[in-house]
Structure 1
């Protein structure tokens, strides 16, 4: 499998492509990383250095890949955090070019906007751009519960409401929705869930909720779920593998006391997930 991953990059820590690439490589995926920013560290520190890469420069990199004759081999285009408005056009153009070269390729969009604790942390124009133009062009989308609510104008907190909101997203274009960070009122204390929905049904998995803020964990989740789903065609299997790997990554990070994901140290969790969590079909 080959994935063209158009995301941010940081020198220190693990977010964007700096979070997604290594876990994908560790499960045997060939990744072509295209960077939209090159920062010293993620912006959660409040200070960082390095450039936003202009949309024209990002497009040039993709054109150079195309000139090598590689696009027919691309199975997935993956995108995450979009630093500025212009990058959406570049991503959508790349998706169109890849799909023209390989009609079986899919586009997986992680519609990064924010979360329930921090609110929206992207440029003001990005959420509407994602909702109106980018998400409808995707085959797979991986919003967290907060982002799902924005995309649909709903409050998806119960399981039923979350399923209905996922169906609204699917009606706009994507076939498959992975909802992360699901915190419904009736779940057991100190747990968190993920929900996957496609044409064949809906499945949920519950894991312990660890007391840490882990920048980049959503990027790892989107990458692993996309790869597992693409390789197996089975949402339940992809959900189980992803939940196992990401929980073990987060647990190792929590135990380390470090702020940044212990991405390299947890590598066996991607290659050989323990499959320790049950996946339940809810529809």
Structure 2
């Protein structure tokens, strides 16, 4: 099969940057460019490596520096973006600065519905804890109503909705609340462990992505896609998901002639499993799973190489070196796997929600 590029899409990507490896904009820029997007990267931090190494050097951009970079683009008339993808911002003030950029780009496109789309990843925490300052949460809550699509993980969805997700019904409630509370038309919750929720018969460990696009009355159209979990932690997967979603949603929306429709929302008669968001997400997850499987193979091969013993090292230093070696081995192998970014083999299917898994008011 020949390489297929998505429709030309100009993206402003606002996220972190690392010198080594693929997270933040280092991940997102390459992914989107590989699929044919024109990407302008505005970096919110400049680190030597991702923080999973437990040590790094670098700087965080101030809100003023972020604003100044955008002002420079405006002064040179370089703001003809179709999409903005915003990810990690290092402070509440930086989140507000990013929000101001997104709102300004929306205003510039106000007379031309569908000509600008904002994908916002509200990076706040995971696994039950915040890893940003407490004031970042209200800063995100303030700007989310201006976004077209948000990509929270389970913990972030709980934080935004105020609902603890313990079942499929409460998961649906959380998405419904997010739609209603923030008037955001599209939501994808990027990582839910369905096997831990009630009414699940999943035997193998599975990660589930839950998505929704609202109808005209604000009610959700819910779909799910189940993927097998891989036994390894990879940094940058959220950034890969967001970047692939930008490209594949742009492609799916073009196929449905929605590029002149505000927020790219499908008519009410379109079923959840037929939504452009659902079709895009299947391709996204298929590409990601293939890349991560190949990464896992390379990781195992790298870790199988015997490391020469260094005399004189204490136990603490040996443990540190081994941790760093294992963390490095798990860096996503992106560059040599662009073929599965462009031409994914579809591995999964979109599932509709069963009536019994919905809260009463949605049945």
Q: Does 1:23 align with 2:23?
A: no
Instruction: String of CA shifts for 1:237-261, please: whole Å, max 9, x gaps.
Output: 1111111011112212211112211
Moved more, 141-150 or 256-265: 256-265
Instruction: String of CA shifts for 1:25-65, please: whole Å, max 9, x gaps.
Output: 11111111001110001112211101111221111111111
Structure 1 equivalent of residue 10 of structure 2: 2
Structure 1 equivalent of residue 308 of structure 2: none
Q: Please, which of 116, 134, 145 is the counterpart of residue 143 of structure 2?
A: 134
Structure 2 equivalent of residue 222 of structure 1: 242
Q: Does structure 1 conserve the Cα–Cα contact (< 8 Å) formed by 2:66 and 2:98?
A: no
Which structure 2 segments of 5+ residues have no match? 1-8, 216-220, 254-275, 300-328, 355-363
Structure 1 equivalent of residue 68 of structure 2: 60
Partner SS state of residue 144, structure 2 = helix
Moved more, 29-38 or 85-94: 85-94
Structure 2 equivalent of residue 173 of structure 1: 183
Structure 1 equivalent of residue 173 of structure 2: 164
Q: Does 1:207 align with 2:227?
A: yes
Runs of 4+ aligned residues of structure 1 deviating over 6 Å after TM superposition are: none
RMSD: 1.5
Q: Does 1:86 align with 2:96?
A: no
Structure 2 equivalent of residue 116 of structure 1: 127
Instruction: String of CA shifts for 1:73-103, please: whole Å, max 9, x gaps.
Output: 2111111111112112211111122112223
Q: Does structure 2 conserve the Cα–Cα contact (< 8 Å) formed by 1:179 and 1:196?
A: yes
Partner SS state of residue 223, structure 2 = strand
Q: By how many angstroms is 1:122 displaced?
A: 1.6
In the alignment, the residues of structure 2 paired with residue 275 and residue 10 of structure 1 have an alpha-carbon distance, to the nearest angstrom, of: 31
Moved more, 209-218 or 60-69: 60-69
Q: Does structure 1 conserve the Cα–Cα contact (< 8 Å) formed by 2:21 and 2:50?
A: yes
Q: By how many angstroms is 1:113 displaced?
A: 1.5
In the alignment, the residues of structure 2 paired with residue 268 and residue 141 of structure 1 have an alpha-carbon distance, to the nearest angstrom, of: 27
Q: Does structure 2 conserve the Cα–Cα contact (< 8 Å) formed by 1:75 and 1:102?
A: no
In the alignment, the residues of structure 1 paired with residue 33 and residue 149 of structure 2 have an alpha-carbon distance, to the nearest angstrom, of: 20
Total equivalences in the alignment: 280
- TM-score normalised by length of structure 1: 0.94
Q: By how many angstroms is 1:158 displaced?
A: 2.1
Q: Does structure 2 conserve the Cα–Cα contact (< 8 Å) formed by 1:74 and 1:102?
A: no
Partner SS state of residue 32, structure 1 = strand
Q: Does structure 2 conserve the Cα–Cα contact (< 8 Å) formed by 1:78 and 1:109?
A: yes
Q: Which has the higher Rg, Structure 1 or Structure 2? A: 2
